[in-house]
Amino acid sequence: MSGAPVGRPPRARRSTLAVPASSDRMIEKAQSLPADEVFLDLEDAVAPDAKEAARRNAVTALTEGDWQGKTRVVRINDATTAWAHRDVVEVVERAGAHLDCLLLPKVTGPAHVHWLDLLLGQVERSVGLPVGRIGIEAQIEDAAGLLHVEAVAAASPRLEALVFGPADFMASLAM
């Protein structure tokens, strides 16, 4: 793990707005809406053939947008996909100074959080950001994740929030 949080104040998350990073129009609109947090989605809301363009859009939105004090989050693709590593590296290298947290979906145990914590620390170091500056939100979306939620919650000092994904959770239980 990369160590204690650096320069990350507590953040209100009374309302969170999910925005597909593939939609310029929705990104622009989200900047003016009264949400505490906006997450630019690279995962479920983005088709596989649009992932790279969505990643570029997220970087542009973070670096050029007026987020009016909102917590700025990018939901990357899940750690087991071919996109997750590039999501972290490209977003943090190009827009890490304008990013508050990464939202990691489909977390089934602490190993997923450890992976993201380690990679974030490496990329932060490489671009001169304080290690630990960018927080992590872990999304629990299946029964395995719920069974390991305490270990997930303790997996990194970067962890700022646990997010429950009810639709995927219900699907994992065949409900």
Looking up residue 25, the CATH number of its domain turns out to be 3.20.20.60
What pTM value is reported for the model? 0.94
Please check the confidence at residue 137 and state whether its pLDDT lies above 70: yes
Residue of 123, 99, 114 whose CA lies nearest to 42:
99
% of the chain surpassing 90 pLDDT: 86
pLDDT at 75 exceeding the cut of 60: yes
Q: Is the pLDDT of residue 3 over 60?
A: no
- pLDDT of 1 strictly over 70: no
Determine the structural domain holding residue 49 and report its residue range.
16-172
Per the domain annotation, does 3 fall within a domain? no
Query: How large is the average pLDDT for residues 94-106?
Result: 98
Residue 7, pLDDT above cutoff 80: no
Domain count, the chain: 1
Looking at the predicted structure, is the pLDDT value of residue 156 above 80? yes
Residue 68, burial from CB neighbour count under 10 angstroms (0-12, 13-18, 19+): exposed
- Residue 145 forms part of a structural domain: yes
